Structure 1
Amino acid sequence: MIELKLERGSRHAPTLVEQLVRAFASAIEAQTLRAGTLLPSVRRLADEQRLSTFTVTEAYGRLVSMGLVAARRGSGYRVAVRGHRDEVRALEWQPPSLTATWLLSDVFADHSVPIKAGCGWLPNEWINESGLQHALRALSRVPAARIADYGHPYGFAPLRERIAEQLDRYGLPVDAASNVLMTAGATQALDLIVRTLLRPGDAVVVEDPGYCNLLQILRLAGLDVHGVPRTVAGIDTEAFEQVVIAHRPKAVFLNTTLQNPTGATFNMACAFRLLQIAQRHGLWIIEDDVNRELAPPGAPLLAAMEGLNRVLYVGGFAKTITPSLRSGYVVAERAVLRELARTKMAVGLTSSEATERIVDKVLTEGRYARHVEFVVEKLRHAHALVEERMDALGASVFRRPRAGLFVWASLPVDPCAAADVATRALEHGIWLAPGSYFRPGDAPSACFRFNVPHSVDDALWTFLETLP
């Protein structure tokens, strides 16, 4: 067995999990630990190194996800048997070309980039594996005849009931039968709203910066897109009203809680002012709120404040369960929801009942609340680490939420050179998300969106320290 020398107490030392992963990975690559070798049990290693079992379990989980270690129930963790090592070494990694196509589509299928500081999802090892496994086993016991047809156009009824119960706790009482529509992820919900309520040439307002995939949806729909600055308190309401008066938009799209990409959350005063302006000018408000469960309590919820008269509320489970299930929903007034359901059926038929059954089981029997608490605490710790590295780098951090996935920071680079920085980063196996991809019109920006749990690797900061 290898000798472990763990560094403790240093503010700049890698986490104990990272140190364990690196030590075992190096020993496996050097064949000090050969294929098939049984690793110490979690409890034994924890006792020997004076670690928590949680730390060892997370480190072993990362090694499994890297393909270096195999886990078998009842037989512990063993060094994985891999293919011909010489052939693997010969296939040297080639960085992909940084284009809009790669960032918006191919990136989701590209697993070659080791450090995904620009991605939009949680690390695989943070997934609620036990809850998902339980849900999958439960689905396997459902008679095939019960899930053989297309399912209900509005989605799996028990899951809609679960969503209604959750929204009621947030102060938004809804009827699960007539106000909740399941979709294939929150992004599809946004697309259905655009297709149903808007027509080519209509003016709309978005946050600047804002959700990059939404910008693409709006462009594909031929809409006239106007950006309004996002502040730490919410949208700039003075600039918003000026845009509304000048361009008479039909809708405004917002992230109220832990906004993507800035991590900022609306305060109550800004929320009230926004609703007043929208009501006075007859705008639809599309509230994309997929991050609410990761936020501290008390953030304003526009749909609850306004009552679904002009607000459509979008949610999903990609940030708390897993993005691969592609399960989201939209909440709206009864007549609007009926039109959204017709659009859903026209462009893609029903959403997957099998997927929705899995999500429902995770919510009800997968210790979901406990898992969310775990993720929130992990994110809080990761934010502290990343913010410390940002300060040491001299970066300007837009907001320090200590919650959610994202930090939006301006690096000491020329805004026009940000895309070049992202291209150079890929050559080092680092995916960065330059600010221009989150702005209407791709305006230059020295800002980057950092996914906090994917931004703790020392190699990222070593690269950033080389920037002029």
Structure 2
Amino acid sequence: MILFEPDRDRKRAPSLVDQAAGALERAIRERRLRPGMVLPSVRQFARDHGVSTFTVMAAYNRLVAQGLLQSRPGADFRVARRRRAVGAPPATWVPPRIGPTWLLSDVFADHSISIKAGCGWLPPDWHNEAGLQHALRQLGRVPVSQMASYGHPLGYHPLREHIAHRLGEHGLEAGAGQILLTHGATQALDIVVRTLLRPGDHVAVEQPCYANLLQILALSGVVVHGVPRTPEGVCEQTLERLVREHPVRAVFVTTVLQNPTGATFTMAGAFRLLQMAERHAFVVVEDDVSRDLLLEPAPLLAALAGTGRVVYVSGFAKSVMPSMRVGYLLCSEELLGQCARTKMSLGLTSAEMMERAVYHVLRDGRHGTYMRGVRERLRQAHDQVCEAMVQSDFEIYAEPGAGLFLWARSRHPPSGTEGAVGLAARALEAGIWLAPGAYFDPEGRDEGWFRFNVAYSGHPRLWRFFRDAARAPRRAGPQALR
């Protein structure tokens, strides 16, 4: 049986092992190779398809590892017989129950929602596939001996050097020795919290703010105070009153394209926050994961004040790919040593293989062109979604024209006491994922706001849902997340 004709174009075609394994897998799934059927011997398959026995053996072994083939030492290969689960009922789709647990964890494994207006990442088909594949091929050429150990506690040195160089272009002068690579920017925030703070310490966060930060702070046992986020920065009067009344140790802010509002600090707002930090001796933790999505320059607090007063956190989920899980923090060398010990205590070193892959992506000449394309697509998405919001009579908090997020609410919410949380639960039944503002509020207040990811929010069915909800009676439900 001839299953495929080998394509030997090394630049265009997959490897011969990939071609052979793919052809076998298709034949099994199409039942041309049925359960229990014996496959040709390695030598016979190699002769029939004009490939080496090494290629065939590697393909066969790959399918054994996937459970599609079975083999015994010295015996033949045959198609595996699939076992049926006794008494297992047929799988049916059940709308998930919305809540903070679903939003922060279960949603990442939930592929049942067709319109993901509330998610926090770029669409899969927007990613730099060519650059990522090239990086993985480069990684495959690295000798195993160079990656067999745990790696350096601070992370892969060439990537740290590259980050230092890129930050220098933004006016932040720092060396690779001040950078700690982490398992995503969220872990970087967790490390900072565990290193700087103790249970009972007072901190300030933006209101609304990054939802995962609220969970990190809750686990740490600190006292959290919300400070209203404004389009220019944070409400200085509220923060000034707060630091006079409480011994605030740290203030957490997102400088540009804030999650969830999309707002960016003005230069004046940045200077006033840093002046207040100097007067009251608190640390500013700057979350800056979306700077690569900006269309024009914006303040960078760590460059304005230095690492003596600011701890800088960023990552590559928005500019490379979320599943790479590579982030970093930058701070003074003294604090960095403490953060490195915290990192090692939590989970030893970070994943050098992923750090190497990110490094290759960033060094690839196509990455700059790719990011320019992403920024342009997001600009167009902002225009489209803002127009849909205007037609649906929504109040828009800010119109950044860049980044992933818009923060908005209907001017004509349904009557009753359902709130945004209840409306989000109704949306799930219609296959729409919404992110209600209560999940981003340190006090769990539900004031009708939603976070919209513009890359996923252009679907007409989303806005029909809101228009229909405004006309329909609203069900009773929770008014706030407690």
Give the TM-score of the pair, scaled to structure 1. Answer: 0.80
1:193 matches 2:200: no
Structure 2: how far apart are the matches of 1:331 and 1:459?
43
The residue aligned with 1:422 is 424
Residue 443 of structure 1: CA displacement?
Answer: 1.2
1:114 is displaced (CA, Å) by: 1.1
The whole-number CA distance in structure 1 between the counterparts of 2:469 and 2:418 is 14
Partner of residue 49, structure 1: none
What amino acid maps onto 1:455 in structure 2?
A: S
Q: Which amino acid aligns with 1:418?
A: A
Residues 1:95 and 1:82: Cα distance change in structure 2 (over 3 Å): farther
What displacement does 1:110 show? 1.1
- How far apart are the structure 2 equivalents of 1:305 and 1:333? 15
- The SS at the match of 2:248 is coil
Amino acid at match of 2:459: D
Kindly state the Cα deviation for residue 462 of structure 1 after the two structures are TM-superposed: 1.5
Could you tell me whether the CA contact under 8 Å between 2:122 and 2:455 is conserved in 1? yes
Farther-moved stretch of structure 1 (96-105 vs 218-227): 96-105
Give the secondary structure class of the aligned counterpart of 1:442. Answer: coil
Offset from partner CA, 1:437-468 (integer Å, 9 cap, x none): 00002112210000000111122112111122
Question: Which residue does the alignment assign to 2:347?
Answer: 348
SS in 1 for 2:284: strand
CA offset digits 1:184-236 (Å, max 9, x no partner): 00000000000000000000000000000000100110110000000111111
- Structure 2 match to 1:441: 443
Q: Give the conservation status (yes or no) of the 8 Å contact 1:192–1:340.
A: yes
Structure 1: which amino acid aligns with 2:99?
A: T
On the 8 A contact 1:379/1:452 being kept in 2, the answer is: yes
1:141 corresponding residue in structure 2:
141
8 Å contact from structure 1 (residues 416, 445) kept in 2: no
Larger Rg: 2
Q: Mapping of 1:447-458 within 5 angstroms?
A: 447-458=449-460
Matches of 1:435 and 1:214 in 2, distance apart? 14
Distance in 2 of aligned mates of 1:299 and 1:452: 21
Is the contact between residue 203 and residue 250 of structure 2 (CA under 8 Å) also seen in structure 1?
yes
Question: What are the equivalent positions in structure 2 for 1:36-435 lying under 5 Å apart?
Answer: 91-176=91-176, 178-365=177-364, 367-411=366-410, 412-413=412-413, 417-435=419-437
Count of residue pairs the alignment pairs up: 387
Equivalent-residue separation in structure 2 for 1:366 and 1:193 (angstroms): 33
User: What is the root-mean-square deviation of aligned Cα atoms in Å?
Assistant: 2.0
Residues 375, 331 of structure 1: CA spacing in aligned structure 2 closer, same or farther, 3 A cutoff? same
What is the deviation of 1:320?
1.1
Q: Which residue of 2 aligns with 1:463?
A: 465
The CA distance in 2 between the partners of 1:403 and 1:83, in whole Å, is 45
- Could you list the runs of 5+ residues in structure 1 that have no partner in the other structure? 1-71, 73-80, 85-89
Moved more, 373-382 or 441-450: 441-450
Return the letter of the residue paired with 1:171: G
**Contact 1:134–1:366 (CA under 8 A) maintained in structure 2:** no
> 1:220-277 deviations in whole A, cap 9, x for unaligned?
1011000000011111111111111111210000000000000000001111110011
Q: Which residue of 1 aligns with 2:65?
A: none
- Give the corresponding residue for 2:45: none
Residue deviations 1:363-394 (CA, integer Å, cap 9, x gap): 00251111110100000000000000000000
**Equivalent AA in structure 2 for residue 163 of structure 1:** I
Matches of 1:405 and 1:287 in 2, distance apart? 18
2:292 corresponds to which letter in structure 1?
E
Contact 1:130 1:366 in 2 (8 A): no
CA distance in 1, matches of 2:408, 2:431: 20
Task: Report the 3-state secondary structure (helix = DSSP H, G, I; strand = E; otherwise coil) of the residue aligned with 1:216.
Answer: helix
**Separation in 1 of the partners of 2:29 and 2:382?**
35
Cα distance in 2 between the residues matched to 1:236 and 1:102: 31
Q: Shift of residue 167 of structure 1?
A: 0.1
Deviation at 1:82, TM superposition (A): 8.3
Distance 1:366 1:460 in 2: 38
Contact 2:308–2:332 (8 Å) recurs in 1: yes
- Structure 1's 82 and 467: CA in aligned 2 closer, same or farther, altered over 3 A? farther
- The answer for the alignment partner of 2:49 in structure 1 is none
Provide the rounded CA distance (Å) in 2 between the counterparts of 1:156 and 1:136: 16
SS state of the match for residue 198, structure 2?
Answer: coil
CA–CA distance in structure 2, aligned partners of residues 431 and 383 of structure 1: 18
* 2:229 partner amino acid: R
Deviation at 1:418, TM superposition (A): 1.1
1:116–1:431 contact (8 Å) kept in structure 2: yes
Give the match for residue 16 of structure 1: none
Tell me, in whole angstroms, the C-alpha distance in 1 between the residues paired with 2:438 and 2:406: 15
SS in 2 for 1:450: strand
Q: CA deviation at 1:298?
A: 2.1
Supply the AA of the counterpart residue of 1:99. G
The list of structure 1 runs, each at least 4 consecutive aligned residues, that deviate by more than 4 angstroms after superposition, is: 81-84
Q: Report the Cα distance in structure 1 between the residues aligned to 2:248 and 2:445, rounded to whole angstroms.
A: 21
**1:94 Cα deviation from its structure 2 partner:** 2.1
CA distance in 2, matches of 1:466, 1:237: 39
Cα shift at 1:296: 2.4
The residue type paired with residue 343 of structure 2 is K
Taking the aligned partners of 2:112 and 2:148, their CA distance within structure 1 comes to 36
Would you say the 8 A contact 2:295–2:375 is kept in 1? no
Which 5+ residue runs of structure 2 have no aligned equivalent? Answer: 1-18, 20-27, 32-89, 471-482
Matched-pair contact (CA < 8 Å) for 2:286–2:312 = yes
Sequence identity (%): 54
